[in-house]
Structure 1
Amino acid sequence: MTILALGACSLNVHADTLFVKANGYTLNHKQQLQRFEAMLVDDAGKVVATGTQSNLQKKMPKAKLVDLAGKTVLPGLIDAHGHVFNLGVAESQLSLRATNNLTEALSAIAQYAKRATQQQWILGGEWNQAIWKLDRFPTAKELDSVVADRPVWLRRVDGHAGWANSKALALAGITKATPDPAGGKIERDANGDASGILVDSAMDILEKVIPPQNDTELRIALDAALKQLRSVGLTTVHDAGVDAQSDKLFREYATQGKLTTRVYGMIGGVDQFFDTVSAAGPVRSLADDRYALRAVKLYSDGALGSRGAALLAPYSDAPHTKGLLFVQDQQMQAMVRKAAEKGYQVNVHAIGDAGNRQVIDALATLPKQYGAETLRHRIEHAQVLEPSDIPRVAKAKLIPSMQPTHATSDMNMAEDRVGKDRIKGAYAWRTFLKQGSKIPCGSDFPIESPNPFWGIYAAVTRQDHQQMPVNGWYAEQAMTVQEAFRCFTLDAAYAGHQEKTLGSLEKGKWADFIVIDQDIFTIPSKDIYKTVVLQTWQAGKQVYAK
């Protein structure tokens, strides 16, 4: 790791700003970690050079100086899988993430309902029955005991199951006679009545009756999300499920210069909105790379916590079920081909080993001109794979898009779900890296915190914030700090076809960078998650200061 010297290239360009006294780190195009103490940025907001202060100042003596006071400077971090509007909406909804048991949860729901007197529906979630050590799902009757007069709908922490009270079930018309939809399940009690838990596509039955957000509410949500994203140092996010309303607002905010975190969008599915927007083809860049819409997000299965993830063999802790594939193989292949033939990258959610196999098989059916080598197709989560399928990911040049904090959130139940043998192919970051796979890292916010330093910490330690388990959970799959940093920068940029403009502070790339309060490459790994972002810059313009 060396201080970058000024290259031999000419600097005969107008350069606006010279950032000095930086403890700077970046990766180069060879993925080597290099250091710098000064960075020259032109008036367009792109990096001209990084290097020593003396060299750069000699070349550009009239540049405006910005003193970074010796603080650590990194390229802006990239979250390769999040949900922007959901993050903003979650700011105003009920969160049960901090509750330790059902009693605490019910108390929190009751208190929230007393405050939220103007809300027709009580919405929110982030509950986790595994944390509560409940050994079962909560019920509608338990919700009724604290809120019976208004409908309540609370999504599980993984977003793949929801908890409704009786009022909500009644409004949705869910009765004993309502059949399970394809790709979903209505949990039932001993009498066959709906118990209050809806899994995966069964949630759609209820959510159709929730009043949609209006334009004003969506703008409030987007503003709230952007405020949070820039405060944690995310200069780009990949939004995993863009619809017509969000696409409209992303375009508007981008062209007006209000999209303070760049968005790489994935169209949610290949239905009506896809048919409309794809007529013009993928949007590779809008408003100086602030917005792109060149991917499609599909779903293969559900989540592990709710046992909706599709497994090849029954769940170890529930032998009566193998989870759910959302669609049959032929339908998945048809959806993949429809998107790819229009020139879109195809990113498919897959958690269980059966879900992952279905996705690998489907993407393998694509002709070469629509294949992964050209369009960089991705498996979103790639969470539990049959070990023999992991090399197939590399052979097919698929990108495993993974979320490190999922491992540390799931470690309290994952092995219970899949057993000691299958866990060897789960959250297998080192195995993927060893075979040469690029891993774009994300968080799946708001399911997890959007803070990328929590993700880097989880990737490096495989521990929770109490440093448990002591030696890390299956620590042989951990990353180094440099690898985790790469996953949140260059590898994430590559996964969005943006490695030539984003992901590092190299000549010609956008000057998206952050200033932080500690050096993540020298501090003990146990302290990485405590990192605080002091400043965030987009294209050489400051968009956040603590």
Structure 2
Amino acid sequence: MSKIKILFVVAVSCLLISCQQEELVMLYFNGEIITMSADEQVVEAMAVQDGLIVGLGNLESLSAQFPKAIRIDLGGKTVIPGIVDSHVHAHEFGQQTLKANLEGTTTEEEMVSRLQAFFPNPMKGEWLLGFGWDEGEWASKGYPDRAALDIAFPDNPVKLQALHGFAGFYNGKALEIAGIDSNTPEPEVGAIIRRENGEPTGVLETSAQQLVNRFVPEETVEEAKRAIISGLETLKSKGITAIHEAGMTKLSLQAYLELDAADLLPIRVYGMLNGNDDQMMEEWFAKGPKMDLDRKFLVKGIKVFYDGSLGSRTALLFGPYSDNPKAARMTERISISKIKELATKAADKDFQLAIHAIGDLGNDRILDVYEEAIKNKPFDHRWRLEHAQVVYENFYVRASELGVWVSMQSSHAVGDRNWAEDRLGPNRIKHAYAWRNMLDNQVPFILNSDMPGEPWEPMQTLYFGVTRMDLQGNPTSAWYAEQALTVEEALRAMTIDGAKSAFMEKMTGSLEVGKFADFVILSENPLEVAPHKIKDIQVERVVIQGK
């Protein structure tokens, strides 16, 4: 073949490839596209090709740049970046299809009724599982007692997980299997709640739950994979395109790894290892983080449970609880010396620490650990405090100077408002659920759901953050309204900053040229509707990597 013919063939081939690529461009227009980028907040058109954003701007210029693009009319709808829910328990959420829902129950008899409806004919010896009773609400009036459960289910062990996971409620059969009775000594961490005669009521706090939970039959990896996929698909349907899975067990970690290897994950998952699991941490410190941004599953975070919860009075406070100090059992679920060891290794191996701390004393102690580790080895750590519900007055300046991120949940403020001030008193409450204080002091801040313990849909999370009201619009004057966020601040904390807190901002979290086309089409613009209507905005379409 002559040189001229070869050049002709190459030229025609390049032309065909160019046309073919141009035909694959999807051009979204006639809507409001909120980019959450630093440069340009809202544009009228966006071009997507091969899963990436290739153009943003006005329709005229993008039409000229991509004349053969497939045009998609948004019909006046709003586009936002895919939501990054930066603190979830998706595996647990997927498991809930196998458990009785006890949310909103206020009596033991109501719990029994729901269990009987969910498990009408249980086989003898079968474990009956439930979730969702609110340990905070119950602790205010007195924890439940197992008597009604024992009568209703004498032959079946019962395990009922509390709403936030800081307590479990078990019947006599479950306690019998675990060998727990009036003579059982208190565990090193956690508490066995007892009747006046010393018999266990059935409620076990924090780590004491493991006395019984280790006897519950464990899922197989295949069952875990099905639960995870179920949970992630539901999250995706509501506009969530990436999550941070906060504290993976060995089983869930294996399930995620297998799902990722088979390209079966429907959304992006930033996995946090269980820092309370010595064996898991030894293994991963040896191998290092898993951070291939082209994959859907990443591992770099280490979630550590330090103190308990405010509702159950197990969070660590500088002073006594204001409402019932005798009922408080402030809890360290892991020693500070052990956390210091983890911090040293995490800094050395380039892992991110994300430590659960609720009370002001708990948060102060963790900042001490972070400060020591970070100053010994300065690096781009992006270490986090999960919840930071109650903080001391000097917290904001310290966290800002250290660059420590706070990971907070808007649903917790409205969910806890009925008893939070009782627990803390009029002074400490001013530094509780203090989102505005964090932002005003330049503390890196992300907003998330902690699902499945609270209402978790993104438009609900956004609504809570902006209004400080529950879904029924209570309280009508907003609860400590001075701590509320603007819509733009809340959206940023749920998108680009959520991505940045997991080292993913170069590929997702905002709509910018070169990033993955992960976005959500909404029925209305959250920047323009009345705040009380944000919760009613519908997700009309979810796109991940252009699909």
Q: If the TM-score is normalised by the length of the shorter chain, which range does it land in?
A: over 0.9
Letter in 2 for 1:138: P
Q: Does 1:324 align with 2:331?
A: yes
Q: Does 1:221 align with 2:227?
A: yes
Q: Does 1:27 align with 2:33?
A: no
Moved more, 109-118 or 229-238: 109-118
Letter in 2 for 1:331: K
SS class of match (2:325): coil
Contact 1:26 1:504 in 2 (8 A): yes
Aligned CA distance change for structure 1 residues 536 and 472 (closer, same or farther; 3 Å)? same
Per the TM alignment, residue 132 of structure 1 is displaced from its structure 2 partner at its CA by 6.5
Out of 228, 232, 245, the residue aligned to residue 239 of structure 1 is 245
Out of 61, 74, 87, the residue aligned to residue 81 of structure 1 is 87
Per the TM alignment, residue 327 of structure 1 is displaced from its structure 2 partner at its CA by 2.8
Distance 2:259 2:485 in 1: 36
SS class of match (2:25): strand
Map Cα deviations across residues 149-193 of structure 1 (whole Å, 9 max, x no partner). 201111111111011111111111112222222221111110111
Per the TM alignment, residue 116 of structure 1 is displaced from its structure 2 partner at its CA by 5.2
Map Cα deviations across residues 489-520 of structure 1 (whole Å, 9 max, x no partner). 11111100111111100111111001111211
Per the TM alignment, residue 129 of structure 1 is displaced from its structure 2 partner at its CA by 5.4
Contact 2:136 2:310 in 1 (8 A): no
Per the TM alignment, residue 115 of structure 1 is displaced from its structure 2 partner at its CA by 5.4
Per the TM alignment, residue 411 of structure 1 is displaced from its structure 2 partner at its CA by 0.7
Distance 1:312 1:79 in 2: 31
1:18 paired residue number: 27
Contact 1:101 1:133 in 2 (8 A): no
Distance 1:160 1:336 in 2: 24
Per the TM alignment, residue 247 of structure 1 is displaced from its structure 2 partner at its CA by 2.5
Distance 1:386 1:309 in 2: 14
Distance 1:134 1:151 in 2: 27
Distance 2:500 2:309 in 1: 26
Per the TM alignment, residue 303 of structure 1 is displaced from its structure 2 partner at its CA by 1.0
SS class of match (1:196): strand
SS class of match (1:440): strand
Moved more, 321-330 or 526-535: 321-330
Contact 2:108 2:148 in 1 (8 A): no
1:112-511 aligned at under 5 Å gives the runs 112-114=118-120, 120-128=126-134, 131=137, 135-269=141-275, 271-285=278-292, 288-320=294-326, 321=328, 323-368=330-375, 370-371=377-378, 374-511=380-517
Moved more, 99-108 or 453-462: 99-108
Per the TM alignment, residue 130 of structure 1 is displaced from its structure 2 partner at its CA by 5.3
Q: Which has the higher helix share?
A: 2
SS class of match (2:298): strand
Percent identity over the alignment is 36
Letter in 1 for 2:248: V
Letter in 1 for 2:290: V
User: Could you say which structure has the larger radius of gyration?
Assistant: 2
Per the TM alignment, residue 274 of structure 1 is displaced from its structure 2 partner at its CA by 2.1
Distance 1:421 1:94 in 2: 39
Letter in 2 for 1:337: T
Contact 1:438 1:487 in 2 (8 A): no
Per the TM alignment, residue 63 of structure 1 is displaced from its structure 2 partner at its CA by 1.7
Per the TM alignment, residue 407 of structure 1 is displaced from its structure 2 partner at its CA by 0.7
Distance 1:525 1:100 in 2: 31
Aligned CA distance change for structure 1 residues 526 and 358 (closer, same or farther; 3 Å)? same
Per the TM alignment, residue 49 of structure 1 is displaced from its structure 2 partner at its CA by 1.7
1:8 paired residue number: none
Contact 2:323 2:422 in 1 (8 A): yes
Letter in 2 for 1:529: K
SS class of match (1:402): strand
Per the TM alignment, residue 102 of structure 1 is displaced from its structure 2 partner at its CA by 4.2
1:7 paired residue number: none
SS class of match (2:218): coil
Contact 1:113 1:147 in 2 (8 A): no
SS class of match (2:120): helix
Aligned CA distance change for structure 1 residues 70 and 41 (closer, same or farther; 3 Å)? same
Map Cα deviations across residues 328-378 of structure 1 (whole Å, 9 max, x no partner). 32222122222332210000000111211121111111044645x511100
- Number of matched pairs: 526
Per the TM alignment, residue 131 of structure 1 is displaced from its structure 2 partner at its CA by 4.7
Map Cα deviations across residues 65-124 of structure 1 (whole Å, 9 max, x no partner). 223222111100010101111010013311111435444333212222215559811112
Contact 2:140 2:419 in 1 (8 A): no
Letter in 2 for 1:534: E
Q: List alignment gaps of at least 5 residues for structure 2.
A: 1-17
Aligned CA distance change for structure 1 residues 400 and 218 (closer, same or farther; 3 Å)? same
SS class of match (2:119): helix
SS class of match (1:315): coil
Moved more, 91-100 or 416-425: 91-100
Distance 1:276 1:130 in 2: 36
Aligned CA distance change for structure 1 residues 18 and 449 (closer, same or farther; 3 Å)? same
Contact 2:108 2:145 in 1 (8 A): no
Aligned CA distance change for structure 1 residues 112 and 118 (closer, same or farther; 3 Å)? farther
Map Cα deviations across residues 264-283 of structure 1 (whole Å, 9 max, x no partner). 01101151122223322101
Distance 1:243 1:481 in 2: 35
RMSD: 2.0
